[in-house]
Amino acid sequence: MDKSYIEVSIASAIDATELAGLLNLSGMVGAWEENGRVRLYWERNEWNTRTLETIHQALRQLGDPQPKSNLTVQEIPSEDWNARWAAQVRPLWIGKRFLIRPSWESVPMGPHTIELIIDPKQAFGTGHHATTQLLMEWLEDIIRGGETVLDIGTGTGILAMAALRLGARSARGFDHDPVAIECAEEYARLNGFGPELDLCATGLEDLEPSPWDIILANLDRQTILKHRHQFSHHATVDSRLLISGILIEDHDEMTMALAPEGWGLVGKRSREEWLALEFTFQDCQPITPAGFPDTR
């Protein structure tokens, strides 16, 4: 008998990666955003009513007041699942140099192409989301060589790996989800990284303070606000903080929340409804948000 799958389709602007990480449920085989909907997939024998209720709870936690009315569930045959999955993991060019491809796809590359091989797994994070692309493009512009990079909520490790490929000296990626770190470690081996990439399953509050040249936080509004006091524990004067996973309307709230922690806003970029911001650390002196260049 052919295997079938359960598709959960949600009309929402939330990040599929964020939702999948919050759920942390066994049996999930895919998650992505498509045409204004988040789609989650389970093997049929892994699905039950408790899973559905957990999804409702997670959506409420992410700010959806009516999760049931925005959600549909349907069973799809194996061949439909395979087609949908394959369509989401085609090779992807990001910025000027990055090529993200699954291991089964071969793509001609130029002499300066930076290739990262990412096969979608439970941690997700294949580079297709606008927030990931914004930060990868920003890293292309700011890394000169020899930097140290801290990637908060690393997921698949794609941003940390991108930074190293661009010339950073070392990178540490951490995530509270051990499944994400397992996937990131597999990707690190697949792409030939060694001790220059340190991956660990922990929370920011448990990470020993130490200075980093570049701090990456592709998270979500609530998580960034929750941990804003801790970012400075990992900074030195002129450290850069790149945040994303937030919406354009979050701009003022983010700049005001980070200013008293010593972070001065110096740049912004946006794509679709998503926003990325760059801050520099100025020795714990309160900074009043002022004019800044749009570096897009």
Does residue 295 belong to any structural domain of this protein? Answer: no
Structure confidence by residue, pLDDT tens digits, 175-203: 988 878 988 999 999 999 999 999 999 98
Q: Which of 72, 88, 104 is the last residue of a domain?
A: 88
H helices present in 191-276, as ranges: 221-231, 251-258
Give the helix/strand (H/E) hosting 99.
strand 98-101
Domain count, the chain: 2
d(CA 94, CA 37): 22
Instruction: Indicate whether 49 and 100 sit together in one domain.
Output: no
Q: Is there a domain that residue 178 lies in?
A: yes
Establish if 166 belongs to a structural domain.
Answer: yes
Same-domain pairing of 75 and 139: no
Residue 102 lies in a domain: yes
pLDDT at 292: 41
Average pLDDT by consecutive 10-residue portion of the chain (296 residues)?
A: 80 73 71 79 87 88 78 86 71 93 87 89 65 95 97 93 98 89 92 97 90 95 92 94 94 96 96 93 55 43
CATH number at residue 247: 3.40.50.150
Confirm whether 133 is domain-assigned. Answer: yes
Which pLDDT belongs to residue 26?
A: 66
Q: What is the pLDDT of residue 63?
A: 78
pLDDT of residue 100: 92
For 38-72, how does the pLDDT look when each residue is reduced to its tens digit (9 = 90+)?
Answer: 888 888 888 988 899 989 888 888 777 777 788 99
Strands lying side by side in the sheet with 37-43: 28-34, 37-43, 4-11, 71-77
49, amino acid identity: T
Question: Which of 134, 174, 128, 161 is closest to 30 using CA atoms?
Answer: 128
CATH number at residue 46: 3.30.70.980
Domain that includes residue 171, residue range: 92-281
Give which of 128, 137, 97, 129 is closest to 115, Cα–Cα: 97
Measured between alpha carbons, how far is 229 from 262 in angstroms, rounded to an integer? 10
Q: Are 136 and 49 in a shared domain?
A: no
Q: What is the pLDDT of residue 293?
A: 41
Amino acid 295: pLDDT: 46
Rg from Cα positions in the chain: 19
Per-residue pLDDT at 283: 66
Cα angle, residue 258 at apex, residues 286 and 275 outer, rounded to 5°: 140
For residue 121, the model assigns a pLDDT of 60
Give the pLDDT of residue 148.
98
